[in-house]
Amino acid sequence: MPATLLITGGAGFIGSHLADEALAGGDRVIVLDSLVTGHRANVPDGALFLERDLREPGLDEILRDERVDVVSHHAAQANVRVSVDHPLADAEGNVLAGLALIEACRRAGVRRLLFASSGGTVYGEQEAFPCDEGHPLRPLSPYGCSKLAIESYLGAYERLGDLEPIVLRYANVYGPRQDAKGEAGIVAILCEKFLAGERPKIYGDGRQTRDYVHVRDVAAVQRAVLDEWTPGTYNVGTGLETPLNEIYARIAEGLGQATAPDYRPPNAAELQRSSLDSSLLRRTFALPAWTALADGLAETVGWYRERARA
């Protein structure tokens, strides 16, 4: 059945793709975004747009008046380095705002809340590659701590019988529309630096690995979750590790660049390796195959190239 879906952060990178997919699937979509890092142009036609902060009063009235069935919570301060430099601001934007949303859902009787967590940070330095959801949780950054805090709140509200939450621990999501500034995605950063004629920086030796998942695949996960709601915590990743140096080389080749990276000292709280086992997700929901990295990067690089030309 079509649902009324409220997407927080729906004017951002991942959220706007989720809004597109939900509208295409026949759902009614409400986008709630403060536009601190999101962009109004990302909000698709057909979605109701509300510009507001989650901490503003009256959110429970909106949920009731709009008869929201499901909340997809993707609003966040998403930069690990910002969280290290400004941990209080990170907690205000992620923990306090997230708790305000949870409480609004409880008061409005909205039981289904999907939360975008971060598999790339909540596990910390991994012991197994790829790791499953049972891996120890040892975040190294305030950002990872904030994600884990909301996971804990959701677990408590579920045990109290107030919510039926789903937590999605994303790997490194990439694709068109990612903001190199507010969302700090390395693929977006490299594309924009190359296209601006600048020499991109790599912090560390470039051998650090990440699990790169295309935003289209994340949208497919949300569709599967909406179609067959099964509360739980799930990794969303390909299980494959790709070194940063390889990502750099692929993007440089795609843009016809030969500039060598400017290597700098590693950032604090940055993981050396990360990859996620999504077997539980695939056993629970029917999903298409992950987008191959070569195909996803080619599409993404092409999008940034066309945007630069425009």
Q: pLDDT band for position 182 (50/70/90)?
A: low
Can you give the pLDDT at residue 2?
74
What's the chain's average pLDDT? 96
Q: Answer for the pair 187, 247: CB distance below 8 angstroms, yes or no.
A: yes
pLDDT tens column, 185-239: 999 999 999 999 999 999 999 999 999 999 999 999 999 999 999 999 999 999 9
pTM (predicted TM-score): 0.97
CA atoms within 13 A on the CB side of 260: 4
> How confident is the model over 133-157, as a mean pLDDT?
97
Annotated catalytic residue: which of 123, 143, 153, 234? 143
Q: CA 118 → CA 94, 145, 166, distances in Å?
A: 12, 10, 13
Q: Flag whether pLDDT at 84 surpasses 80.
A: yes
Report whether pLDDT(172) > 70: yes
The reply to whether 143 belongs to the active site is yes
Q: CATH class for domain 4-174+214-238+275-290? A: alpha beta
Structure tokens at 115: 């939360």
Q: pLDDT value at position 1? A: 66
Beta strands in the chain (DSSP E): 4-8, 28-33, 48-51, 70-73, 112-118, 166-170, 172-174, 201-203, 209-210, 212-214, 232-236, 242-243, 262-264
> Each residue of 46-72: pLDDT tens digit?
999 999 999 999 999 999 999 999 999
Name beta bridge partners: 213: 173
